[in-house]
Homo-oligomer: A and B are copies of this chain.
Amino acid sequence: MYKPIAWIITIGNELLVGRIVDTNAAWLASRLTFLGASVRRIVTVGDTVDDIVAVLRDALASSDIVVTTGGLGPTDDDITMEAVAAALNLPLVLNREALEHVSRFYSTKPAELTRERLKMALLPLGAKPIPNPVGAAPGAHVSVGRSELFVLPGVPREMKPMFDSYVADKLKPILPELCVREKSVVVKGVAEADLAPLLRRASRECVSCYVKSHPKGHEAESPLVDVRVLASAPTCEEADAMAQRVIGRLMELVGGGGGGGASSSVR
């Protein structure tokens, strides 16, 4: 079962100076994962055309799906569309549909739009505008060779509905029909270092599952490990069963003298 590879690119100096925690990346990563894509890379770059172009070209060369956020606003440092056009060797042109969106948003005639407002209606030639139900700037969707590129704004309350109403829909034909489910168990009283060989054995119950341990307590004095199992299958019942087999086996191993006073609870 081939899972399309996805890259997420988040754009903005505010991320590089640590002013803002990149919640967009995690939100998109989760959405793409549960839709059946395999997120391979998340890259954050600043508001510099050359840097954005370099990352976009890397991304388009190595993935099926590229989603960018940020840099679509009216200010001078909002240069994502310019960089997308440069990366694809396409001119940036006034898009009629995008222009109508921007005009409607500000309730002004297109002729009265300032340079800063007009800027938000410029898209790479051939790109489809992605409707923005909340803000002024539309996004853009471009098919580039084997990749689908989606350019979204950075404001979360704009980006999220645009992903859910447009991107998720356009991705359906290229995503496998499968259900992704997660199960977790919290193991108390076994250090992660001692849980490691048990995890290795339990993981054999489902080689295609993604199994990850997250240490939460003090490794030596009061160990507490959160174990997550992510399974993908054609039906949700199968995915649930696959994840459950790993959890069940792990609990058996832990209970069977794995860790003295160990206890575990499944969520």
Contact = CB atoms under 8 A, between A and B. Distances in A.
Interface of A: 12-23, 25-33, 39-46, 51, 55, 73-77, 105-107, 114-117, 120, 135-136, 155, 191-197, 199-200, 210, 212-215, 219-220, 228, 230
Interface of A is mostly: mixed
Given A18-B26, A75-B192, A116-B193, 20 more contacts: A14-B214, A15-B29, A17-B210, A17-B230, A18-B27, A18-B28, A21-B26, A22-B22, A22-B42, A40-B51, A41-B45, A41-B55, A74-B192, A75-B213, A77-B212, A106-B193, A106-B220, A117-B193, A135-B215, A136-B220
A26 B31 contact: no
A230 to B, nearest CB: 6
* This chain's copy number in the assembly: 2
Given A74-B193, A192-B75, A46 B40 contact: yes
Nearest to A200: B76
21 contacts: A13-B212, A17-B210, A17-B230, A20-B26, A21-B22, A22-B25, A22-B26, A22-B42, A25-B44, A41-B44, A41-B51, A41-B55, A42-B43, A43-B44, A73-B215, A75-B213, A76-B199, A106-B191, A106-B220, A114-B194, A135-B219
